[in-house]
Structure 1
Amino acid sequence: MLNIADTLHRWCREERPFALATVVDVTGSAPLPIGTSVAVDEDGNAVGSISGGCVEGAVYELCRQVLQDRGPAQRAWFGYSDDDAFAVGLTCGGELDVLVQRIDPKAQPHLGAAFTEAVEGRTAAIAQVVDGSFTGATLSVLGDSWIADRTLGDGPTGRAVGDRATAQLRSGRTGLVSLGGDADTCPEQLNVLVHVAATRPRMLIFGAIDFAAALAQAGRFLGYHVTVCDARPVFATSARFPHADEVVVDWPHRYLARTAVDARTAVCVLTHDAKFDIPLLQLALALPVGYVGAMGSRRTHEARLDRLREVGVTEEQLVRLRSPIGLDLGARTPEETAISITAEIIAHAHQSTGLSLTRVTGPIHRVSGAASGIQTVFDFL
């Protein structure tokens, strides 16, 4: 639903009831991920898309029906029909499971507060129960606290959903999670879709070289907050890196030690100098970041591994190091190399092969990590 947060924020502020249709599961090849929503207000105004156009008409009518009936939340399934090419369905061959529910901002004021946080660039989370007797119940996490609607309340089920949604917010990732089945905490087993409005993930580029300038531009395009860091002030300037959000003059390992990182952070080491590389990589490989890559030839890589072992980096940590950095695209120019590096970051985040799609069998859009309880760094984008 955060794909339409701007409009939902306004509707909540105006206390305007609306129907919300949200993708809660995807099978096969589908154009948009779980968490994507369409909303329709009582005047028939619609915003958003869940299928790129294939099933929008049917979803719109379901929303209108839910608004008119004021009934409970409904689940609807859409798939491609081979027998009738004109039937409601997905021409891409995938399947969508959609939750349609009526939202009353007066009765659920916490949603308006969460949308405000999201629109103004602050972190927040909204949890939707997508099955069971609590289907359609919502809860918002604002800062260090959570607020549930009356359906969930603050009993065992509400606390279980609130705790899990808070954990998802800390991770910075939208995801479908399962919980419950414990009589002491949450007796009923539930699937809960947690929508997370998170700050941009970070890309930390060390080494103020031409390749870093191209990588900063590619990282910015992908939605990263990009930092370029180098100990040499003559090279680390904003004029040389106009696409970076910030340019820092400091020793790389010293800056990494004092800056905030998380599981979505990509660390790209382009320094080509052991006095910078070794202390920086020693620290980076011990941190809970999502990606660590280092530029250099295979000979440089082998020498770097020996030095890292000498300073106590374990084999388990070394497995995390992507070096030589990037995918085998035959890249030569800084721009091509930036594509090679970002392609590897994307593939690593989604646990994909990085192979050409012509060499891979099965659906193009595989089951997302979120559907299996594993979220990726790109879920928020």
Structure 2
Amino acid sequence: MRELAAELLRWHAANTVYALATIVGVSGSAPRPLGATMAVDEAGNVRGSLSGGCVEGAVYELCQEVLATGAPARRTFGFSADDAFAVGLTCGGELDVFVHRVTPESYPAIEAALDIEHAAAIVRDLDTGAITTLRSRVDMEAADGAGEIVGVAMDSAVVRVGWAMLESGGSGVRVVGCADRERTVFVDSFAPPPRMIVFGATDFAVALCRVGKLLGYRVTVCEARPAFADRARLPDADEVVRDWPHRYLARTPVDARTVLCVLTHDPKFDIPVLSTALRLPVAYVGAMGSRRADRERRAQLRAAGVTESELALLHSPIGLELGGQTPEETAVAIGAEIVAVRRGGSARPLSATERPIHPEDGPHAPRRLAAG
């Protein structure tokens, strides 16, 4: 839903009533993940997508029905081998879609979930359409239940389940035993954007910032040289830090989603920062340079005490071999390698593989949770 933040906030500013369709269950191969959203306002304007075109027409009609009646609706869309004209996913998967109407009374809960400065979980009651958002600070210190609750009051058992899923980063349908009855809810957790830290404010960094933003990262550029640490040169960076790379990295929080790209191509910067980076629990560490520079750099890192197992984590020369030459083409190659590493991709052409295009995680069956 956060990918629609700008559009939804504009609708809120205009007091627009709209229907919000959300994927609450996925099985088999499907083009969009759990939590993907599509919004339709009363004038028929559409924002977002659930399937890349396969079922959008049917979901659009369902949204108009919900707008007219005010009653939430839940429907499953799957592949039909018997009827070529049936609405379904040609990729063979199955989507469970929930649609509810959003009015100005619901805006605070929606806006709390859209705020990227907070980790949040939006909880939808799949029977009534009621929504509430559980929100904590980026550092997750409030994820034990001490955070903010925005929206319709829900049973304390539902709230506890929501906090637990926010803390673990989980999303899905849950059946919760409450004081009066069982309630079926969909909890959609939103973590803060993952971080991309780029060391060296080069022309390649300028292009990589654009690719990083496209991939959903919060991008920081760290540059020790005052003449190059110029915010105006890096309009797509979220922040530009003037500091020595190893010193900045040593004091900066990172996690298992963080990617580190060393583009300085200078041993006095590269060796200290890579010696630190390769010992951190991050998703990716890459360094720019020729094959000769890479061999020399690895020798210097060994001399600095970096072990072979740590060196094995280094992606250098950085990026996939796409044959590009410009900074923009190089940035695409780096971004492609990051995606392949994070998602376990082969980095081979799809036409040369037989693997499923979309991972098949199996059905997301509701889990039953007792109150108390």
TM-score range, shorter chain: 0.7 to 0.9
Q: Is the 8 A contact 1:227 1:248 kept in 2?
A: yes
Give the equivalent residue in structure 1 for 2:166: 165
Deviations 1:50-109 (A, max 9, x none): 2344323432444455567766x6542212333332221234544322123466765xxx
2:318 to 325, 331, 335: 325
Please give the residue correspondences for 1:74-93 in structure 2 after superposition, counting only pairs within 5 Å: 74-93=73-92
Cα offset for 1:332? 3.5
* Stretch moving more, 344-353 or 116-125: 116-125
Give the equivalent residue in structure 1 for 2:250: 257
Task: Pick closer, same or farther for the CA change 1:249–1:370 going to 2, 3 Å.
Answer: farther
| 1:112 aligned onto 2:107 | yes
| 1:364 aligned onto 2:357 | yes
Give the equivalent residue in structure 2 for 1:21: 21
| 1:291 aligned onto 2:284 | yes
Task: Pick closer, same or farther for the CA change 1:80–1:130 going to 2, 3 Å.
Answer: farther
Q: Is the 8 A contact 2:110 2:133 kept in 1?
A: no
1:122 to 105, 117, 129: 117
Cα offset for 1:361? 1.1
Partners of 1:291 and 1:221 in 2: CA distance: 17
Amino acid at match of 2:149: I
* Stretch moving more, 254-263 or 142-151: 142-151
Give the equivalent residue in structure 2 for 1:209: 202
Deviations 1:94-148 (A, max 9, x none): 4322123466765xxxx532432455653252334688xx896744122331438
Partners of 2:213 and 2:257 in 1: CA distance: 14
Cα offset for 1:280? 0.5
Partners of 1:103 and 1:88 in 2: CA distance: 26
Task: Pick closer, same or farther for the CA change 1:158–1:315 going to 2, 3 Å.
Answer: farther
Deviations 1:243-285 (A, max 9, x none): 4444433211112223343433321112233332222112222
Please give the residue correspondences for 1:227-246 in structure 2 after superposition, counting only pairs within 5 Å: 227-238=220-231, 240-246=233-239
Cα offset for 1:371? 7.0
Instruction: Report the RMSD for the aligned CA atoms in angstroms.
Output: 4.1
Partners of 2:122 and 2:336 in 1: CA distance: 31
Partners of 2:66 and 2:235 in 1: CA distance: 49
Give the equivalent residue in structure 2 for 1:54: 54
Partners of 1:57 and 1:163 in 2: CA distance: 36
Task: Pick closer, same or farther for the CA change 1:205–1:3 going to 2, 3 Å.
Answer: closer
Amino acid at match of 1:341: I
Deviations 1:321-367 (A, max 9, x none): 21221112233343332221111012122221111111111432334
Amino acid at match of 1:327: L
Partners of 2:362 and 2:286 in 1: CA distance: 22
Cα offset for 1:157? 4.3
Partners of 1:3 and 1:298 in 2: CA distance: 39
Amino acid at match of 1:97: D
Task: Pick closer, same or farther for the CA change 1:61–1:292 going to 2, 3 Å.
Answer: same
Q: Is the 8 A contact 1:207 1:271 kept in 2?
A: yes
Partners of 2:321 and 2:362 in 1: CA distance: 25
| 1:344 aligned onto 2:345 | no
The 3-state SS of whatever aligns with 2:333 is: helix
Task: Pick closer, same or farther for the CA change 1:164–1:319 going to 2, 3 Å.
Answer: farther
Cα offset for 1:292? 0.9
Give the equivalent residue in structure 1 for 2:188: 194
Partners of 1:2 and 1:127 in 2: CA distance: 11
Q: Is the 8 A contact 2:20 2:39 kept in 1?
A: yes
Deviations 1:201-228 (A, max 9, x none): 4322223434333333433444434333
Deviations 1:132-169 (A, max 9, x none): xx896744122331438778522x4431321221442x
Q: Is the 8 A contact 2:28 2:363 kept in 1?
A: no
TM-score (norm 1): 0.73
Give the equivalent residue in structure 1 for 2:217: 224
Task: Pick closer, same or farther for the CA change 1:275–1:299 going to 2, 3 Å.
Answer: same
Q: What percent identity do the matched residue pairs reach?
A: 50
Partners of 1:237 and 1:16 in 2: CA distance: 41
Task: Pick closer, same or farther for the CA change 1:293–1:78 going to 2, 3 Å.
Answer: same
The 3-state SS of whatever aligns with 2:171 is: strand
Q: Is the 8 A contact 1:331 1:337 kept in 2?
A: yes
Partners of 2:44 and 2:217 in 1: CA distance: 33
Task: Pick closer, same or farther for the CA change 1:69–1:224 going to 2, 3 Å.
Answer: closer
Give the equivalent residue in structure 1 for 2:368: none
Structure 2 unaligned blocks of 5 or more = 137-141, 366-372
Amino acid at match of 2:120: A
Structure 1 unaligned blocks of 5 or more = 169-174, 373-381
